[in-house]
Structure 1
Amino acid sequence: MRTNTLKRRALGSSALVTVALLASQPAFAQQAPADEKADEEPAIVVTGTLLKNPNLVLSSPVNVVGEQEIATRQINNAEQLLRDLPGVVPGIGSAVNNGNGGASFLNLRGLGSQRNLALVNGDRLVPSGSGGAFDLNNVPLALVSRVDILTGGASTTYGADAVSGVVNFVTKSNFTGFDARVSYGLTQRGDGAAFRTDVTMGGDFAEGRGNAVISLGYQKTNPVYQGDRDFSLFQINSFNGRAAGGSPTDTPTSFYFTETQPNALQNNATGTGFVTANADGFNFAPYNIYQTPFERYNVFAQAKYEVADNIEAYGRGIFSKNTVQTIIAPSGIFGEALNVNINNPFISAAQRATICGANPTLDCTAGSTATVAIPAVYRRTVEVGPRISRFTTTMFDYKVGLRGKITDSLNFDISGAYGQSNQVQTLSGYVLRSRVQQALLADNTTTCRTTSGGCVPLNLFGGNGSITSAMVGFIQGTSTIAVDTGLSQVRGVINGDLGIASPGASTPINFAVGAEYRNYTFNRTPDNLSQVPGELGGAGGAVLPFRGGYKVTEGFVETNIPLIEDKPLFNKLALEAGLRQSRYEVNAPGKPTFNATTWKVGATWEPVSDIKVRGGYNRAVRAPNIGELFAPLVTGLTSLAVDPCSGTKAQGNANLSAICIGQGATAAMIAAGSIQDPAAGQANATGGGNPLLRPEVADTFTIGTVLTPSFLPGFSLTVDYFNVKVNGAISSPTPADVINACFGSVTAASATSVACTSIRRNPVNGRLSGPSGTVAGLPTPSSNLGRIDTSGWDLSAAYSRDVGFAKLMLNLNGTYTIDNYFKATPSAVNRECVGQYSVNCGSIQPKWQHNLRTTLDFGNINVSLLWRYMTAVRYEQRLFEVRKAFSGAITGSGPLVGQTFDFNRIGAANYFDLSAGFKIMDRFNLDFLMANAFDRKPPIVGSTLGTTGQNSGNTYPSSYDALGRRFQVTLGVKF
């Protein structure tokens, strides 16, 4: 019964028609579903409008993922479900390791997680972090009845941030009964175990005047290490095809004793002298992971009670405690300048001779205790173990409200909500630079010159294993960073109809009017270790404390005007419009304020009942979030594999040499050809917030058609065109933008131009990487100078029919993205990233992507096949002018050596997921899933073509399945 009700509502409102015909179909017939009273539920959530009448035909296209599809996919969190949907570009989620901040986010249309909203029952919930986005790890999936994905501007309805649309998780209402399920999954290789259990209970009370429901859940997912897959056992350089280390920070220790030294010198195996450093460096790949370990406890409860005739009090609460861990290779000393006394007990005679030869002014006479400055020291402290960041987030959000009728045709809804998200990041396995420096100044093997903290002298001059457990105990440290966010909300809405209709229609004019207030707060509190640049070896830049917030007061109005009904060629014709006026007050000195206006117009036309044509234009506005406004200026890391000054490029080129020298290199470095590309493909970059930022403005346009032909029962088709333009986009230049602004034409570039001199190099070796306290690297300031332009087509088709022995159901969702241009500044490249990948493009966005599900329902048994498809993509063409990616046979070490690959292209991807469901004894459900049934391996492109977060383990694990064939089984019971 529930499915049919949902179908009627979906067809009544074309905002939900796209795939509701099949997305919400049950996998098998249910004689007595636990939530059978849903047919009577008065609370109806229609995504994309605040209007009350659910039968209105709306102009906004909405894709619907039904309850059965969620269950069939057997996913463990909302991000995993959304990641594979057409129109969604993978954001930060469970497949992102280095770059994961302990939360999962949505990225609609590839416009960024800050330009869409994730809602629960149409409500904003407290965001995670300074970016203002809701953490999808907190969605109570067990109680979700459907997911609506509105892919068009929705700022008029939901306020700022809904530039590319919203995802609305709609929970079950009037739930009565008991529903429990337990799920367990494992990859074919025996790793990545995932366990989930949920219990949902609900029922009526007070003779049916009230209903309450509570859902409890627990989930745990184990990591999958890159070292456990043959294609990622060794990191592969994307430009020379060598499977080797990837990082110059290796073990034993290597040193640069002069700024012009072309190659590092490394301790030999016995620590008695130096040899030329290992060119392959340290293989960090086996330590990294494809699937982040995750554990969550969650509670969702909601209740309502009719306090008087036509007056209902309601409330809901969400609590979630989740823990995400990221694991990367061991910490170390990453090119730090350090001092050591020449009589250090761990320096051999041969090593002392080399050091003295490189420092002719140093007192090296017998008995000298002089201190020598070593310009750059590299040592991977494998003895300490991997670097682990543990993010523990405790989140709650509650809402109470009163709703009811003013008259027979007018309704009101007044509510207030408050939420907090408290995250503690604990960093362990990190080497402390200050303690390394303290432990290097020692005249004997037992006592440091400065004994504070229980100092143990450190041996950086021996072979592998020279760092003892006692030394580890002194040089390692644990750091914590606390992040607290809050959101207070008050909203009041009056909606209904005016009791009048246009002359050509019988349906009254509907409207909604109201006001809303929101107050966002943010506070980041790092400990002292996190605030010192370079103190935590390999942690990137300093993490500085900052707080900020803003308040927004808004008024809004929406209307839907049926113009013509039941006339030839005008079965229905309606107009809709909306307006929202917002005033922002920033919590900063002087309390700057700014205003924003967003509006929409749209129309729907049904020439006959089988055809609907819809279109809309939105002026959407996104205000800068707290991070964009207040984040302090710091030096961190960005992705850059090639330095225009590295090697011999500048030799014989006077202008290029002058540019490199103007950035901090020296003529001696250029003459020696000693400048190297950024270590591990990561350059330093300096950026932060900008309190002068103002709202960005987007124009979104959609037009499409909905076909439900009466001559083909069970079939529906929707086709929609979308176009989004964001002007004054809040953005920062990409690494290529910064490099091209200076080096785009080395014959015309000026060594004294701001574009060149603002790039700052390592004064020790001329590299763009090094200690964050002394190497600023690339400037990446935030501004309102960006522009984004994307367009494309969405297609959804559904068909169901009885074929005699079973019911056949087909469901297709696809998106064809024509383009997605991004221009960070007026002088930057107007970059196109659709169908291309590079350090400038983040996640992969294919031209065409679709999901096709085919289901045979035999009653108590069903079998379903999901086909996930992505078109081929290629390495960013603009970068070909500088350097092509590798193509040929892999060299170096590991299982892939000798195999031929072309990193300039990734072919089309096809994944097939096979599932089956069984109904047992009326009350029990048993579901099986075999994901990636043909065990398709991910494409190999090396690990230095794209961003660190997305291009990891020699592939793009958020876009392509790196885990392999996976099995999942779920047992459910309902009463």
Structure 2
Amino acid sequence: MIVTRRLRRISLLVGAAVISLNTASAAPVSDTENKDTRTRKSGNANTSSKAPISGKSANDEVITVTGSRIANAHAKTPTPVSTLTLSDIQNQSPTNNLADLVNELPQFAGSTTPQNSRLALSGGTAGINALNLRNLGAVRSLVLLDGRRTAPSAITGIVDINTLPQQLVKRVDVVTGGASAQYGSDAVAGVTNFVLDKTYTGLKVNADSGVSTYGDGTNYATSVAGGFGFAHDRGHVLLSGDYAHQDGIYSVTRSWNENNNRIMANPAYAAGNGQPYYIVRGPAGTNNALPGGIINASVGPVANSLRGLYFGQGGSVNHYRYGSYSTSTTSLGGDYALADNGRNIGLSPGSDRKNLYGRVSYDVAPWMTLYAEGAYNESEYVYNAGPQYLTTVKLKGDNAYLMDALGPNALRGVSSATLGTTAHDMPYRRTDNRRNVQRYTFGGEGNFTMFGKRASWSAYAQYSATRTHEQIYNVMNTSRIANATDAVRAPAGNAAGIPAGTVACRSTLTSPGNGCSPIDWLGTGVMSASSIDYALGNPWRDEKFEEIVSGVNLSMTPFATWAGDVNVAVGGEYRDERVSGYVPTQYQSGWSVGNFLPTFGSYDVKEAYLETNVPLAKGLSFNGAVRGTDYSTSGYVTTWKIGAVWQPVPDILFRATRSRDIRAPNINELYQAGTSRTTSVLDPWTGNTDTVLETTTGNSQLKPEKADTTVVGSVITPRFAPGLSISVDWFHTRLKNAIQQFYSQDIIDQCYQGNQSFCSAFRPDPSGQRDLLFSASPFNFSQITTSGIDIDATYQFPVRRIFPKADGLFTLHGQASNYLSYVADSGLSPAIDTAGDITTGPPKWIYRFSASYDTSRFNVTAVARGISAGNYSNSYVQCTTSCPAYNAYFPTIDDNHVKGTFYFDMNFTYKLKYSNFGNMQVFLNVTNLANAGPVIVPESGLAADSTYSSLLGRTFRGGIRFELQ
């Protein structure tokens, strides 16, 4: 009965949206877009769409609104909205990728990019450009195309911005604040809406190419878009296509990667002596894994008698110099430089992407326009994931290669030796992620007269299918590695018929024909091609993610109060999502990383909403929304939003919102069949480092996350300074029952601390190949709380105000977000405020400033952007003397500071106009003009932050835009 009543409640709201439509034409209204008052309107003619096609008025289009479902150009919504115009996109975009420009806005923190997802070996997100508002996760930031959901690019539901028809985008609106009541699940942190120029008429062509100052990272792109009318301009066609290529950078040759600082245990530390537990020192490097291998331990009459022997070119035997100080993994000084130290890892992926988009619309009646859209995207991203990395290669005392290298005397009584290697002779691991995203939409929209006022309606149905092929090349097969490592001299008369004295796999002697080829780990230039072919493989997985979504919306003005019109919007949505996949049996287990399993699952959701805007007095209005949502997996949820706008005088506006938002678990969190990786954990019972196999799986019992968000702010537009606009907004979000994935180290630590729910997640490996097996699933018991301040200021004025004979427009625009706090609390360990933590949290400050001078002949735009200085980790307590007692959660360290970034970009555009023909622009973008380095972090591998930093250095991009009118 409860479910029946909930479905009835939804059906009533949906029914309200499909009232019989009045076929009378609506009275014309202003074409002004309903945007937040903080949004600036550039005076550049290029910022507006082309003139409507003949016979149609732009007033006949359904008004596109972001931050509200109410299509009223005069209604002021309390939700902050920031906008990138077409002028911004053309004059400030640092690459041929729109996502890179959007991610420069301070509201975005921790977004997924090809630069920082290059090591996502088996997660399915490598290469994706997914937006992350407020650092709350890309899965909590909803991406819309013309106010509608668009095709996801992964089974997590995130959208790759590269799949959108970027050359037709006329603006990007960013809603900062919960918007689930208006737009549905996933809008916890906000909404990013990409608005297309659907009435574009003409032809435009873009071609550009770029390169870094070091001569690498070459890229080029071309795009074509056009629109035309037909049937006496009752119909309109839009077409676009683009192709973009970027060369990969598969090694790190930048000087900043030679920082070589490491965090090391302090040898001077003793309990109570006031010394920090950790120190940051350099030059240092990894000492337990070298390109040709190094012996870290041996078992025999004299334990570890072979420790420090390492192997060079051709198998040469050398003694490692551990330097002035060393730990079990790191050496300060000495032979630290022998390690790879992140030089042989990819800096930037190689990529190719293709987009096709088409739209046709037709006015079947004065109040109805029907349309159909189709989009196709194909992309491939290739990465160098770095060398193989093994620290526990166990060589038995009778290993043939070990005997040859050291001789029987050195090995007398030695039963085994443990080797660490980055396997210089083996090819580097490489990822190849391919995606095919298709989307087909059919719908209608229009305006009509209802209750004597203009009303707007829209309805659509959409099908999308995303097919992915994830492949990891040159992955070690654990059982084959074990067989090939156990190399011995074949005895005479062996069953395999191998000549006596030949080096062979021990397993082949007892199982002839098993194909094993012995592997020589000792040195560089020593491995045989047959042993490499035997030990490595190329696991892959195919997945198909399908989404069906349909929606109907109606915006109307049913009545008015003494203070003005009351606006109401109602609507409903249905969504069905499902995933299927295929993995060959041979790639489902037994590999060091990958071990893909196919995922199968589905769910559907029914939603209905109501939104209203009610004027209460002159300058004061109320905005509220409520949405009922019924999930097939987790039941019914209600979301809501209330807000108010008060403008006592034209110069200042106050606004405030409070919302309850949700995010339902996605297909991946619910049904992930599992991917596995071999990793290591520190066993708190023994203090030993154990090798473990960790398999991540979904949890079908997950419930929706719930968030409460408050935003309070004001907008100042002083009449004494025309063109000046300043907005300041304070935000606070508390996310409860957050879905969080726990991994091996957390699981074993929590079990050790007495949390029994974690103890069942691991067990001994019955095969003996590893110490433990772990199963990791997500759960609803985390909480995330964040708060901060957004500042946005624009000053725009005609240059003739200063120089009477000069033309053009000058625009100053500054944006900054200050994170006051960001706390992710799993409830299993002390909560840490990570605001300013460069590794896990958002920076304290993210800022972006631009200055643009635009005339009819040219444009010059300068951009300054960056983040503030912070800590390597907020869990560390920085001190040099009188340090507090050791705390495992808050260890002390002598240097926890990392510098911020400051990058300066320039854009130059020269405009040419040809009478009765068209326009052409020639442009040059220089990104990171000063060639400033990235944020340096004291760790092995890549020594830089890859989320907020410029890893490539100074880059150049030049090209032309041509438009026929």
Q: TM-score, normalised by structure 1?
A: 0.81
One-letter amino acid of the structure 2 residue matched with residue 432 of structure 1: N
Q: Following the alignment from structure 2 to structure 1, what is the Cα–Cα distance between the partners of residues 151 and 49?
A: 39
- Corresponding residue for 2:644? 603
One-letter amino acid of the structure 1 residue matched with residue 830 of structure 2: V
Structure 2 matches for 1:83-94, cutoff 5 A? Answer: 83-94=103-114
Displacement of 1:599 in angstroms is: 0.8
Return 194-203 or 347-356, whichever deviates more: 347-356
Q: 2:479 aligns with which of 424, 434, 439?
A: 434
1:847 aligned onto 2:844: yes
SS at match of 2:38: helix
Structure 2 matches for 1:673-684, cutoff 5 A? Answer: 675=688
Do the aligned residues in 2 keep the contact of 1:400 with 1:415 (CA within 8 Å)? yes
- Corresponding residue for 2:951? 962
One-letter amino acid of the structure 2 residue matched with residue 26 of structure 1: N
SS at match of 1:926: strand
1:17 aligned onto 2:37: yes
One-letter amino acid of the structure 2 residue matched with residue 141 of structure 1: Q
Displacement of 1:635 in angstroms is: 5.2
One-letter amino acid of the structure 1 residue matched with residue 833 of structure 2: E
Q: 2:855 aligns with which of 839, 858, 861?
A: 858
Q: Following the alignment from structure 1 to structure 2, what is the Cα–Cα distance between the partners of residues 819 and 739?
A: 29
SS at match of 1:383: coil
Do the aligned residues in 2 keep the contact of 1:50 with 1:512 (CA within 8 Å)? yes
SS at match of 2:162: helix
Q: TM-score, normalised by structure 2?
A: 0.81
- Corresponding residue for 1:656? none
1:501 aligned onto 2:575: no
Displacement of 1:33 in angstroms is: 8.0
One-letter amino acid of the structure 1 residue matched with residue 352 of structure 2: E
- Corresponding residue for 2:888? none
- Corresponding residue for 1:425? 470
Q: Is there any run of 5+ residues in structure 2 with no aligned partner, and where?
A: 1-28, 265-279, 323-330, 491-500, 801-805, 882-892
SS at match of 1:381: coil
1:547 aligned onto 2:600: yes
Do the aligned residues in 2 keep the contact of 1:238 with 1:903 (CA within 8 Å)? no
One-letter amino acid of the structure 2 residue matched with residue 302 of structure 1: R
Q: 1:402 aligns with which of 444, 448, 451?
A: 444
Q: Following the alignment from structure 1 to structure 2, what is the Cα–Cα distance between the partners of residues 406 and 803?
A: 43
SS at match of 2:91: helix
Structure 2 matches for 1:738-817, cutoff 5 A? Answer: 754=756, 773-776=770-773, 781-804=777-800, 805=806, 806-817=808-819
Count of residues in correspondence between the two structures: 859
- Corresponding residue for 1:695? 704
Q: Following the alignment from structure 1 to structure 2, what is the Cα–Cα distance between the partners of residues 620 and 174?
A: 34
Q: Cα–Cα, structure 1 residues 634 and 175, in superposed 2: closer, same or farther, change >3 Å?
A: closer
Displacement of 1:486 in angstroms is: 1.0
Displacement of 1:336 in angstroms is: 5.1
Deviations 1:760-804, CA, capped at 9 Å, x for gaps: 79999xxxxx99954457x86522211111111112111111223
Structure 2 matches for 1:435-584, cutoff 5 A? Answer: 435-439=480-484, 440=486, 443=490, 445=502, 449=508, 455=515, 457-460=517-520, 462-498=522-558, 500-505=559-564, 507=565, 509-533=566-590, 535-536=591-592, 539=593, 542-564=595-617, 570=618, 572-584=619-631
Deviations 1:383-422, CA, capped at 9 Å, x for gaps: 2321110101010111101223564444432210000111
Structure 2 matches for 1:165-176, cutoff 5 A? Answer: 165-176=190-201
Deviations 1:47-100, CA, capped at 9 Å, x for gaps: 122222232111111010111111123322233122221111132212212235
1:108 aligned onto 2:133: yes
- Corresponding residue for 1:98? 119
Deviations 1:798-821, CA, capped at 9 Å, x for gaps: 111122324221111221221111
Q: Following the alignment from structure 1 to structure 2, what is the Cα–Cα distance between the partners of residues 224 and 902?
A: 35
Displacement of 1:494 in angstroms is: 2.4
1:72 aligned onto 2:91: yes
Return 925-934 or 724-733, whichever deviates more: 724-733
One-letter amino acid of the structure 2 residue matched with residue 559 of structure 1: T
Do the aligned residues in 2 keep the contact of 1:244 with 1:283 (CA within 8 Å)? no
Q: 2:655 aligns with which of 614, 626, 631?
A: 614
Displacement of 1:461 in angstroms is: 5.4
Q: Is there any run of 5+ residues in structure 1 with no aligned partner, and where?
A: 1-6, 360-373, 565-569, 587-592, 646-658, 666-674, 743-748, 765-769, 885-900, 945-951
Q: Following the alignment from structure 1 to structure 2, what is the Cα–Cα distance between the partners of residues 34 and 560?
A: 30
Percent identity (aligned): 24
Q: Following the alignment from structure 1 to structure 2, what is the Cα–Cα distance between the partners of residues 851 and 38?
A: 37
Deviations 1:297-344, CA, capped at 9 Å, x for gaps: 001222210122322111222211011122122236552567x79474
Deviations 1:658-715, CA, capped at 9 Å, x for gaps: x532xxx5xxxxxxxxx56x99xxx986654322211111111112222222322222
Q: Following the alignment from structure 1 to structure 2, what is the Cα–Cα distance between the partners of residues 938 and 210?
A: 51
Do the aligned residues in 2 keep the contact of 1:438 with 1:455 (CA within 8 Å)? no
- Corresponding residue for 1:368? none
Q: Following the alignment from structure 1 to structure 2, what is the Cα–Cα distance between the partners of residues 611 and 908?
A: 34
Deviations 1:729-762, CA, capped at 9 Å, x for gaps: 11245899668758xxxxxx86x77499789799
Deviations 1:446-497, CA, capped at 9 Å, x for gaps: 7652788883632425432111223333333222111221110111222212
Do the aligned residues in 2 keep the contact of 1:515 with 1:556 (CA within 8 Å)? yes
One-letter amino acid of the structure 2 residue matched with residue 830 of structure 1: A
One-letter amino acid of the structure 1 residue matched with residue 632 of structure 2: E
Q: Following the alignment from structure 1 to structure 2, what is the Cα–Cα distance between the partners of residues 876 and 919?
A: 48
SS at match of 2:856: coil
Do the aligned residues in 1 keep the contact of 2:353 with 2:377 (CA within 8 Å)? yes
Return 460-469 or 273-282, whichever deviates more: 273-282
Structure 2 matches for 1:48-63, cutoff 5 A? Answer: 48-63=67-82
One-letter amino acid of the structure 2 residue matched with residue 809 of structure 1: T
One-letter amino acid of the structure 2 residue matched with residue 434 of structure 1: S
Q: Following the alignment from structure 2 to structure 1, what is the Cα–Cα distance between the partners of residues 399 and 472?
A: 35
Structure 2 matches for 1:298-309, cutoff 5 A? Answer: 298-309=355-366
One-letter amino acid of the structure 2 residue matched with residue 938 of structure 1: P
Structure 2 matches for 1:613-692, cutoff 5 A? Answer: 613-632=654-673, 636=677, 659-661=684-686, 675=688, 687-692=696-701
One-letter amino acid of the structure 2 residue matched with residue 414 of structure 1: A
Displacement of 1:107 in angstroms is: 1.2
Q: Following the alignment from structure 1 to structure 2, what is the Cα–Cα distance between the partners of residues 95 and 771?
A: 38
Q: Cα–Cα, structure 1 residues 955 and 27, in superposed 2: closer, same or farther, change >3 Å?
A: farther
- Corresponding residue for 1:291? 348
- Corresponding residue for 1:388? 430
One-letter amino acid of the structure 2 residue matched with residue 473 of structure 1: D
